[in-house]
Amino acid sequence: MSRRGWLLFIAMGLIWGIPYLLIKVAVEELAPSTLVLVRTALAAALLLPIAFARGQIRKVLARWWPLLLFTVVEICIPWLLLGFAELRLSSSLTGLLVAAVPLVGALIALSGPAGERLGPRRLVGLLLGAAGVAALVGFQVGAGDTWAIAAIVAVVICYAVGPVILSRSLSDLPPLGTVAVALGLAAVVYIPAGIAQAPRSWPSADVTVAVVVLAVLCTALAFLLFFALIAEVGPARSVVITYVNPAVAVLLGVAVLGEAFTVYTAVGFALILGGSVLATARPREQVGAAAEVCDVPGAPVAAPADGLGAPARTGSVGGGP
């Protein structure tokens, strides 16, 4: 990997591990719907002009039905539920539980049209991942957190299903244009609820900074950097950030917010990480033939053919955490 590739990889590993901390800070004063509205509106305001200048908007809007479905499943539902869940759960625990997305993606791949086989390695991976989730939920979640856990389950499912919708119906469209329009649609959807639940007074400086960083750095700029990463190192390597982000979320939660780090946190994270790697591993005989295809279903991956504005060849674009 080139020096530029390493820099982009490190940047994305950090940037998409930060949102859980920022969401935790923001929902102390903002309703989840208001947070989603501001986040999507700011990010769309930054990305839509770029996509428009490159002539990508009309192509994307022509596929309005799958685009709308993707927007609801990948952005509208999970981003709202993440805010709801973090009203009760710690940011570090939320980040670890969301790390189970590749496990659900692997299950979806088994029942998909490709008919992937459940071999011993993938079976062990799924079992390890399930044990990791059980360790986190069983030892770190209180009796009153049931709805928060249900929300995270829905988030994980949405993050696994969203890329499937995109890869089957929108993969030939420009990734940047697709994300920009999806963010704009999500902002429009949340205007009524976001405004109705907005606070009467301006939020504190900490919350304001958290929301701006979440929208500008972790959403708009993150996608530009992510597409550059894919163009530099390919989708197969870029997907590894999926395994780095939860570690960043835990470190930030513990260091910045003083969240607890227990032996169950370490065990749960190790099991989920190891299980995800095994459950999404491609058989050796397929590695050489499909080296440039992302093999982690549910991961936020796209593969531009010629830079940021070209249509995707393989993989998919996720909405980020």
What is the reported pLDDT for 306? 42
Per-residue pLDDT for 145 more than 50? yes
**Average pLDDT of every residue of the chain:** 82
5 vs 50: which has the higher pLDDT: 50
What are the pLDDT digits (tens) for 248-260? 888 899 999 998 8
What are the pLDDT digits (tens) for 97-143? 888 887 787 777 776 655 556 677 777 877 887 787 777 776 666 65
Q: Give the Cα separation of 159 and 94 in Å (integer).
A: 14
What ranges do the domains of the chain cover?
A: 3-302
What is the reported pLDDT for 115? 54
Q: Give the Cα separation of 80 and 100 in Å (integer).
A: 18
What is the reported pLDDT for 40? 97
Nearest CA to 39 among 187, 181, 140, 147?
187
CA 188 from centroid of its chain's CA atoms: 21
What is the reported pLDDT for 282? 62
- Stretch 76-94: mean pLDDT, rounded? 94
Q: Give the Cα separation of 80 and 11 in Å (integer).
A: 25
What are the pLDDT digits (tens) for 39-57? 999 999 999 999 999 999 9
Specify whether the CB–CB gap between 148 and 85 falls below 8 A: yes
What is the reported pLDDT for 146? 86
Question: What is the pTM for the complete model shown?
Answer: 0.84
